[in-house]
Structures are given as C-alpha cells and as structure tokens.
C-alpha cells in the first residue's frame, strides 16, 4: 500500500471510530427516551445496535493498531 494511502486509511479509521462513538451516544440517548415513552422493545433494539457499533469499533481499533505497527 502506498504511504499516502496508509496515511489516508489511518485518518479514515480515526474518523470512523469517532463517528461511531457519536452515533452510539445518540442512540443510547434516544433509546432511553423511547423507554420513557413506554417503548421497551424499541429501547432494547436500539441498545442492541449500540452493542454492535461498539463491537465494530473494537475491530476498527484493532485495525488501526495493526496499521500503526507497520
């Protein structure tokens, strides 16, 4: 991979990780609101989405670490 592409990938990975964190925070906020409206099932589904985003971020963080090791 060209050095420019590696630099770009590192920047993108950082961006995607932060973007996912922001979405997870917003999903959590809205899941709690949904639970407050009596929508427990919506809360539970949104909470599962947050878990999946966090898992995706673990993989993205691992990829970023490997990229930086090179």
State whether residue 1 is helix, strand or coil. Answer: coil
CA–CA separation, 14 vs 67, rounded Å? 12
The reported pTM is 0.88
| CA distance to 19, 25, 40, per residue, from 10 (Å) | 14, 23, 38
Do residues 34 and 46 make contact, with C-beta atoms less than 8 angstroms apart?
yes
For range 29-51, the mean pLDDT: 98
Predicted confidence at residue 58, as pLDDT, reads 98
For range 35-49, the mean pLDDT: 98
Would you kindly state where each structural domain of the chain is located, as residue ranges?
3-69
Q: Name the pLDDT band for 1 (thresholds 50, 70, 90).
A: low
Cα R_g (the chain), whole angstroms: 16
């Amino acid at each position: 991979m060209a050095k420019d592409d590696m630099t770009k990938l590192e920047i993108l990975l950082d961006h995607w990780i932060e973007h996912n964190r922001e979405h997870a925070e917003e999903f959590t906020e809205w899941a709690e609101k949904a639970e407050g409206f009596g929508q427990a099932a919506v809360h539970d589904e949104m909470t599962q989405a947050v878990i999946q985003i966090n898992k995706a971020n673990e993989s993205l963080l691992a990829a970023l670490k490997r990229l930086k090791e090179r």
